[in-house]
Structures are given as structure tokens and as C-alpha cells.
Amino acid sequence: MLHTFGWDYPAGAENDPHMPWNQSDPDPVEVDVNVVHTLHRVATIETENYTGNEEDGYEFPEGLTDDYKAQCKGPLELIQKLKDLLLPEFQSLEILKSTKKLNRSNQKRYNQLKDILADCEGWEEEELDITEA
């Protein structure tokens, strides 16, 4: 049988439930996944916790973690800062949404902020290793 699409089905296959064109996609299901991101950064920090000198080289017997943490923000702190910056705008848009005064562009921004804020949740730091670069 010739259809408006311009092709014939194989004999007996037009209504066969096993044929791809007669199947539907499965309903989506939710699944919990464990996500591990490995990040790397080179940062310049100042420290007084060293031995040696510039000529012979420095050693950092007590490590650099405390100095790094005092001078730089890590990923979890950056995520929290992002949330702190976005939350007031999101809350304002939530108020507009609850009063049904959210226009199309505000609805788009609301959805963006909602997605970003949701993605900021649930992160944990498992390991922090700071060494001289």
C-alpha cells in the first residue's frame, strides 16, 4: 500500500506491533546516580609554613591546605556563592508566579534559575589534595 510518505510497508508489516514504526518509546523512569567530577586548578597562594630557601628550594612540611582554604574558594564555596547570588531573584520570580503575574521572559528566567539552583544541591567534597605545582 502506497502512503503519502512515498514508501511501501513490507507485506504484512504495516500493523505488526513488533515493527519500529508501531512501537512507542518507554515511559521515563527516575534513577539515582552517583556522580564524581574530578577538578584541577593551579592557584598562587602565599604561605609562611615552609623550610628552605629560594636557592635550595622550599619544603612545605605542614602542607598548604590551610593557606589555600584561607585565600581561595573551593568548588563547594563557589556553588554556595552562586546560590546566594541567584536565590533573591528566584524568590522574587516565585512571588510573581504565585500571583500569576509572570510574563514569558520571566517564566524562562524562572525555569533557568530553578534548574541551576536544583543542580547546586547535594554536592559533597570527598577529597582535597593540595601540593606544590
Residue-wise pLDDT for 24-54, tens only, equals 888 999 999 898 888 899 999 999 988 888 8
Q: Three-class SS of residue 52?
A: strand
Query: What does the alpha-carbon distance between residue 80 and residue 120 come to, in Å, rounded to a whole number?
Result: 8
Domain map (residue ranges) of the chain: 35-119
Express each pLDDT in 48-105 by its tens digit. 988 888 888 888 878 789 999 999 999 999 999 999 999 999 999 999 999 999 899 9
Parallel, antiparallel or unpaired: strands 51-53 and 57-59: antiparallel
Q: Three-class SS of residue 2?
A: strand
Q: Model pTM?
A: 0.69
CB 79 within 8 A of CB 120: yes
Q: Three-class SS of residue 8?
A: strand
